[in-house]
């Protein structure tokens, strides 16, 4: 038997079934018309942001990293909840503009921005978080051609990293950001060329669950920003302090202590150096805001036994839930929180493997899981599906196509 990850708070049984937004899984699938289906819950999104804001200092802005879940109704809902939006491609730029989001709230990071993407961003007046000298030069010359002063922040590749982070994005050689020691001269050049200098962006990693590690890293980020501002010779208008807040996916994972992080930031903010006193300060979060608000529902289409192992074969799989299958940034495959949605209040009764419909042994949704006895036609729920699910999985694989999505 392998343990399942913890089911996030707020999911209860109704008429014996998993309920999301007060409606049963079968009811939601009936409305959507088919499986597989991603269901995202408005009330989860709301509660998450309310709790986060209550814990964090008032002056700390909260940005949403759109790549975690760009589903248009989710994006639209987030506009009323967060302060800023971080995008990482021209496609995401189109999405935030289509959602009517004020370009002043948008910053565009990510390596490999093409000239057409830089041009579209400069025309739309969103802030570019430049990832290299070359990119900043291209942005400056595009701005000159257009006759507009581009808004430019510089993404820093710091020498420290976020400890215990699932995905390290700082420390040592990286394709992201500019090595810290080269930042001041580029910032001075950007300012000298008449661009609207928007400060610094320091992102150090993702999916950390340790408050201590996050507190230490945010402290390092503030120290580094102060040091760089000193060398630039101007206070910073803005500092994006990165994110990294994780969610529990696996057995033994604990939710991060946002109260402790908020208190530590409050303390740091009370004694900020002059270079940061007037800076707009923000964090950028993806999975923490939306991950637990999503559930992936798929249907059991076959039940079979092979060499004594029972397989529940579903119409879902890694083409929608690459991360849950263990093939997106994990070394050892562990089980996400999974349940039989149509028997949500039944006791575990048998050990099964829940698999997808793709013809590859990689397509697993739960290994050796203790679940209630389930039959063909029952619905399986995979939790923590609100981030990096639909948009970060290879839905074209085997001609399967995308899953349905709905916000309730
Ligand atoms: C992906 C990314 C995020 C969001 O990461 P989460 O783990 O979803 O919070 C934030 N900032 C940058 C620069 C990113 O690349």
Here the CATH number for the domain that contains residue 24 is 2.40.37.10
Is the CB of 217 inside a 6 Å radius of any atom of ligand 1? no
Verify that 223 and 251 share a domain, yes or no: yes
Shared domain for 276 and 306, answered yes or no, is: no
What are the two backbone dihedrals, phi and then psi, of residue 268, each rounded to the nearest 5 degrees? -65, -40
Q: Both 302 and 238 in a single domain?
A: no
In this structure, the residue with its CA closest to atom 7 of ligand 1 is 206
Judge whether 298 counts as a catalytic residue: no
- Of the candidates 231, 261, 285, which is a domain's last residue? 285
Instruction: Say whether both 179 and 125 belong to one domain.
Output: yes
Q: Identify the residue whose C-alpha is closest to ligand 1 atom 4.
A: 286
Helices (H), 99-132: 115-124
Domain shared by 280 and 306, yes or no: no
357 and 388 within one domain: yes
Cβ(285) – ligand 1 distance below 6 Å: yes
pLDDT at 166: 64
| Ligand 1 binding pocket includes 383 (Cβ within 6 Å) | no
Tokens of 22: 């007060």
Q: Is 277 left (phi over 0), alpha (psi -120 to 50) or beta?
A: alpha
Q: Which of 285, 302, 335 is the last residue in one of the domains? A: 285
Handedness of CA 234, 82, 320, 373 (dihedral sign): positive
Residue 169: the pLDDT is 58
Q: Is 139 found in the same domain as 25?
A: no
Q: Is residue 333 part of a domain?
A: yes
Residues of the chain with pLDDT under 70: 166-171
Distance 109 CA to ligand 1 centre (A): 10
Residue of minimum CA distance from atom 14 in ligand 1: 65
CA 186 to centroid of ligand 1, rounded, Å: 24
Q: Are residues 36 and 141 in the same domain?
A: no
Q: Which atom of ligand 1 is nearest to the CA of 287?
A: 8
Judge if 97 and 152 occupy the same domain. yes
Q: Say whether both 250 and 310 belong to one domain.
A: no
- CA–CA gap between residue 65 and residue 205 (Å, rounded): 13
**19 and 74 part of one domain:** no
CA of 380 to the centre of ligand 1 (A): 28
CA of 206 to the centre of ligand 1 (A): 6
Residue 4 is assigned to a structural domain of this protein? no
Q: How many domains does the chain have?
A: 2
Question: How far from 101 is each of 76, 84, 157, CA to CA, in Å?
Answer: 8, 9, 28
Nearest CA to ligand 1 atom 5: 286
Boundary of a domain, candidates 256, 285, 314: 285
Residue 152 belongs to domain spanning: 70-285
- C-alpha separations of 241 from 42, 65, 219, 224, 286 in Å: 27, 13, 10, 11, 14
Question: 206 CB under 6 A from ligand 1?
Answer: yes
């Amino acid at each position: 038997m392998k343990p399942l990850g913890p089911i996030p708070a707020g999911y209860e049984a109704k008429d014996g079934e998993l309920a999301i937004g007060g409606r049963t899984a079968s009811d939601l699938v009936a409305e959507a018309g088919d499986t597989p289906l991603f269901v995202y819950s408005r009330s989860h999104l709301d509660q998450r942001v309310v709790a986060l804001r209550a814990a964090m200092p008032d002056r700390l802005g909260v940005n949403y990293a759109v790549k975690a879940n760009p589903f248009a109704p989710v994006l639209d809902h987030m506009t009323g909840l967060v302060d800023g939006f971080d995008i990482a491609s021209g496609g995401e730029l189109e999405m935030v503009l289509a959602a009517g989001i004020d370009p002043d709230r948008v910053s565009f990071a990510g390596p490999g921005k093409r000239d057409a993407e830089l041009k579209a961003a400069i025309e739309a007046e969103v802030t570019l978080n430049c990832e290299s000298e070359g990119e900043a030069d291209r942005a400056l010359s595009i701005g000159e051609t257009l006759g507009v002063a581009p808004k430019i922040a510089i993404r820093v590749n710091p020498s420290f990293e976020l400890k215990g982070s699932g995905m390290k994005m700082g420390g040592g050689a990286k394709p992201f950001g500019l090595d810290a020691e080269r930042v001041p001269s580029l910032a001075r050049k950007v300012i000298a060329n008449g661009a609207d200098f928007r400060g610094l962006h320091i992102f150090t990693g993702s999916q950390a669950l340790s408050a201590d590690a996050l507190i230490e890293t945010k402290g390092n980020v503030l120290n580094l920003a102060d040091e760089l501002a000193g060398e630039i010779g101007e206070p910073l208008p803005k500092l994006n302090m990165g994110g990294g807040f994780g969610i529990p996916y696996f057995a033994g994972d604990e939710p991060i202590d946002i109260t402790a992080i908020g208190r530590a930031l409050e303390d740091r903010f009370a004694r900020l150096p002059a270079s940061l006193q007037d800076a707009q300060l923000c964090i950028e979060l993806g999975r923490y805001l939306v991950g637990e608000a999503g559930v992936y529902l798929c249907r059991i289409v076959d039940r079979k036994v092979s060499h004594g192992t029972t397989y529940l074969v579903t119409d879902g799989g890694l083409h929608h839930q690459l991360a849950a299958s263990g093939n997106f940034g994990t070394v050892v495959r562990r089980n996400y929180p999974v349940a039989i949605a149509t028997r949500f209040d039944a006791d575990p009764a048998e050990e099964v493997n829940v698999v997808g419909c793709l013809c590859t042994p990689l397509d697993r949704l739960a290994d050796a899981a203790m679940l209630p006895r389930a039959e063909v036609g029952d619905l399986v729920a995979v939790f923590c599906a609100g981030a990096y699910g639909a948009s970060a999985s290879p839905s074209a694989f085997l001609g399967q196509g995308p899953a349905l999505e709905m916000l309730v």
